[in-house]
Structure 1
Amino acid sequence: MTSADGAGPVADLVRYDLDGHVATITYNRPERLNAIDGAMRQALNAAFSRFRDEEDAWVAIVTGAGRAFCAGADLRGEGDPTGEFTGTFWERPTVNSFESGWEIFKPVIAAVNGYCIGYGFTLVTWCDFVIASERAEFGFPEVRLGVPTMVGAIRLPRKINWQYAMELLLTGERIGADRAHEIGLAGWVVPHEELMNEARALAARLVRGAPLAARAIKEVAVRTADLPMTDAIRFGETMRRVAGATEDAAEGGAAAAERREPRWRAR
């Protein structure tokens, strides 16, 4: 197992641990319920950048230390939790973090251990799988603070039923784990002490598949969501041919013919 490179307060705010092909990214500011300030934003971006680029990292689990997953933006913290911007308002980039839409086509599991509010909830809407502790709570409180929820308003109605999404976005109320499961937000609700075991078990299932094929599948699913069917099929066929030309595709065929487990190399 390897841990995040570097030392000091910024590196300590987010832990990065790689065990086999599974990276665990942990919000690590429990004394502030893992709320995000400017320094933690830098650390989160560094962790997700590492996961995106590290060849041996095939699947990520995201969770929080202490009793919160992430309590949103730290309005009393230092720095800008949204990231570093330059220029005028209209020149500001909007895609500057995983929460706001970095394209990471490796599978990501959210292991939600407690409060999942604001920015934390936004990140969950970008995850492929959500496993919730029985103690988890989800909410977008921004409307009660006089500001709109932007990325949440874009993503949440694509994840769950429109009316359930609007209820969360427009009331600012929180829901518990069972309600999150009922409306399709959380795929699983588990006893709190079993949360990470369940997340690791799911990750172990995912790494049995060819990593490049998995990334192609996720990219096709994301990019074709708003395409006409013919265009979607054409793009999917292109990606199938690209993935089919990899060493892993040849290995998969050989392993099936020889009746053995494939040895993936992500090549």
Structure 2
Amino acid sequence: MSSSDRGSSASNLRVEKHEVDDGRLTVAVLTIDDPARLNAMGRAFWPELRAALTALETDGRTRAVIITGAGTKAFSAGGDIASFAELTDVTAKRAFQQDCMRSFAAVEESPLPVIAAVNGYAMGGGCELALACDVVVASDTAVFGMPESAVGLVPGFGVLRAPSVIGRHWTKLLMFSGERVDAATAMQIGLVQKVVPAAELMDTAHRMAGRIAGMAPLALATGKNLVNRGVDRGEWDHSTAALTTLHGTADAAEGIAAFVGKRAPRFEGR
């Protein structure tokens, strides 16, 4: 049994609750629901994600969360790059970076276990969102990458968290070259914990979430917190400042314009 709630504002985040344990508890599914744009995440997505998690954490019944993308082509192709051009001043650029960071932190620090069910492309912010989750289950068609350098940027959360997940050198390779990795490679390097046929992805995620839901919630929250104690939180301001600076460069403006215009960028290092 499931129920859904979608806000009246322009939202591409759909929330469903599925009953488990004979209806006593629920597993929540958060679906990035804009398949026509490969589930790109616009500026409204980030506060909506935080609000959804807060509501689930306090409803008294939800014991696990699954994040996935609508359709079969993408978990999320990342941030809505075209909208970056609307960030016209330093204050807006900094506020946007902080908003994204707060949302990744909300996933990473939630007392609820969060499973990423990755179907298709997980690029840029989509890959970073998977990094923020506790467990990643991927379809055999999943593809991961952090291609922000192609538009004059870097993955602000990814460069902080990926080194502890996949190592410094893999992080640099993905960040420097925009190289994509398939699901099998992603599992080998530690980004993914389980790969299944695409048709089995959501059933696998639901079975995993159902098992988790039956465990003691305080023990899971405490265990998650202890595992995360080794993760340095102090570098976020540094990353936000660096990304804000990059957003103001001529190269970033060129990269975004080239992306929107569907042409190759010409970067000049300024």
In structure 2, what is the equivalent of residue 27 of structure 1?
32
In structure 1, what is the equivalent of residue 139 of structure 2?
133
CA contact (8 A) 2:137 2:193 kept: yes
Q: Is structure 2 residue 60 aligned with structure 1 residue 61?
A: no
Separation (CA, whole Å) in 2 of partners of 1:69 and 1:42:
19
- Taking structure 2 as the reference length, the TM-score comes to 0.74
Separation (CA, whole Å) in 1 of partners of 2:230 and 2:135:
19
- In structure 1, runs of 5+ residues without a counterpart are 228-267
In structure 2, what is the equivalent of residue 192 of structure 1?
198
Q: Is structure 2 residue 145 aligned with structure 1 residue 110?
A: no
Aligned residue among 144, 152, 166 for 2:150:
144
In structure 1, what is the equivalent of residue 14 of structure 2?
15
In structure 1, what is the equivalent of residue 247 of structure 2?
none
CA contact (8 A) 2:140 2:197 kept: yes
Q: Is structure 2 residue 98 aligned with structure 1 residue 94?
A: yes
Separation (CA, whole Å) in 1 of partners of 2:154 and 2:7:
36
List per-residue Cα deviations over 1:236-261 (Å, max 9, x = no partner): xxxxxxxxxxxxxxxxxxxxxxxxxx
CA contact (8 A) 2:49 2:103 kept: no
Percent identity between the aligned chains?
35
- In structure 2, runs of 5+ residues without a counterpart are 20-25, 234-270
- Greater gyration radius: 1
**Pairwise CA distance, 1:75:** 2.1
SS in 2 for 1:101: helix
- Taking structure 1 as the reference length, the TM-score comes to 0.74
Moved more, 176-185 or 45-54: 45-54
> Once superposed, which parts of structure 1, at least 4 consecutive aligned residues long, lie more than 6 Å away?
78-81, 88-93
Separation (CA, whole Å) in 2 of partners of 1:110 and 1:51:
16
In structure 2, what is the equivalent of residue 37 of structure 1?
42
Aligned residue among 67, 70, 93 for 2:76:
70
Aligned residue among 182, 204, 209 for 2:188:
182
**Pairwise CA distance, 1:146:** 1.2
Residue-pair matches, total = 223
Which protein has greater RCO, CA pairs closer than 8 Å, 6+ apart? 2
Q: 1:119 to 1:25 in 2, by over 3 A?
A: same
SS in 1 for 2:40: coil
After TM superposition, the structure 1 = structure 2 runs for residues 115-264 of structure 1, keeping only pairs within 5 Å, are 115-225=121-231
**Pairwise CA distance, 1:63:** 0.4
List per-residue Cα deviations over 1:127-149 (Å, max 9, x = no partner): 11111101101010111211122
